[in-house]
C-alpha cells in the first residue's frame, strides 16, 4: 500500500486530532482524508459521505485499493444524513463554503443526531464570520485553530467540540478566529497581511468590518 499524502491544509488540520472511534469524512471526494486517518491509526473505522455519486464511488475505490474496505462505509448522502455522531467520534467537513457547513450541522442538530462531546474539524473556504457565529449560537466550542499555506493561499482549520452551551462572540473573533488571535499559530503574520488586503476591499461594501480592519492594522504594526 502506498501511503496517502494529504495536501498541507488537510494534513495541518488532521494533525490536531486525537484518535477517535469513528472518523466521519463529509464531502470525502477522493477519500484521501478517510484513508489517511486509518493508515495512521487515528480512527478504528471511517464513514465517508458525499452528496454526489461519482466522488462517493471514487472514495469507495480508493479505500478498497488501500485495503480498508472492512473498516469503512461510504454513503452517497447529503452531509450527516442517517449518521449518529457519538462523543467518541470526529467529523471532518472541509473544502466547502461556510454556509454549506452550517446547513450540514443544522440538519444534524435538528435531527438530534450529535452527542455532546463530539469533535468537529471544519475548514470552510469562505464565510468564516457566519460559521463562527453559528458555532457560538449552537454551542460548538472552538478549541483550536490552525493556519495552513498551500500555493500562496491560506487555509484556516477549526477544531470545535459540541457541548451545547451557546456563547457570545464579537465580530473580530468571528472574522479572524478566537484561537488565531490568542495563540498566534504558525503563519500568523503572513495570514494577517493577507487578511489586511482582503479586508481593505471588503469594508467598502461591509462597513461593519471597520473594527476588524483597524485591529489587523494594529497587530501588523506591532509585529
Residues lying near ligand SAM in the complex (CB under 6 A): 10, 26-27, 29, 49-52, 55, 78-79, 94-96, 100, 104
How near is the Cβ of 181 to ligand SAM at its closest, in Å?
Answer: 24
Smaller CB distance to ligand SAM: residue 97 or 117? Answer: 97
DSSP track, 29-96: TT-HHHHHHHHTTSEEEEEEE-SSHHHHHHHHHHHHHTT-GGGEEEE-SSTTTT--B-TT-EEEEEEE
DSSP track, 121-140: EEEESS-HHHHHHHHHHHTE
How near is the Cβ of 5 to ligand SAM at its closest, in Å?
Answer: 13
How near is the Cβ of 79 to ligand SAM at its closest, in Å?
Answer: 4
Smaller CB distance to ligand SAM: residue 55 or 185? Answer: 55
Put the strands of the sheet holding 153-162 in their side by side order. 72-75, 43-49, 20-26, 90-96, 119-124, 153-162, 140-150
Smaller CB distance to ligand SAM: residue 90 or 216? Answer: 90
Smaller CB distance to ligand SAM: residue 95 or 178? Answer: 95
How near is the Cβ of 203 to ligand SAM at its closest, in Å?
Answer: 29
Amino acid at each position: 500500500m502506498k501511503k496517502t499524502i494529504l495536501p498541507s491544509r488537510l494534513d495541518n488540520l488532521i494533525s490536531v486530532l486525537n484518535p477517535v472511534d469513528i472518523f466521519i469524512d463529509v464531502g470525502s471526494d477522493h477519500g484521501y482524508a478517510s484513508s489517511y486517518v486509518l493508515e495512521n491509526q487515528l480512527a478504528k473505522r471511517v464513514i465517508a459521505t458525499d452528496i454526489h455519486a461519482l466522488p462517493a464511488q471514487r472514495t469507495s475505490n480508493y479505500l478498497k485499493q488501500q485495503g480498508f474496505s472492512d473498516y469503512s462505509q461510504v454513503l452517497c448522502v447529503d452531509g450527516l444524513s442517517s449518521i449518529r455522531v457519538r462523543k467518541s467520534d470526529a467529523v471532518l467537513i472541509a473544502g466547502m463554503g461556510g454556509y454549506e457547513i452550517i446547513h450540514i450541522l443544522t440538519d444534524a442538530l435538528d435531527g438530534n443526531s450529535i452527542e455532546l462531546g463530539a469533535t468537529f474539524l471544519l475548514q470552510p473556504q469562505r464565510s468564516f464570520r457566519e460559521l463562527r457565529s453559528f458555532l457560538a449560537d449552537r454551542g460548538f466550542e472552538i478549541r483550536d485553530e490552525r493556519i495552513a499555506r498551500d500555493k500562496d493561499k491560506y487555509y484556516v482549520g477549526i477544531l470545535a467540540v459540541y457541548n451545547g452551551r451557546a456563547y457570545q462572540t464579537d465580530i473580530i473573533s468571528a472574522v479572524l478566529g478566537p484561537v488565531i488571535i490568542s495563540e498566534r499559530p504558525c503563519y500568523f503574520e503572513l495570514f494577517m497581511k493577507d487578511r489586511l488586503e482582503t479586508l481593505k476591499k471588503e469594508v467598502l461594501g461591509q462597513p461593519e468590518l471597520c473594527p476588524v480592519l483597524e485591529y489587523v492594522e494594529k497587530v501588523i504594526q506591532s509585529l
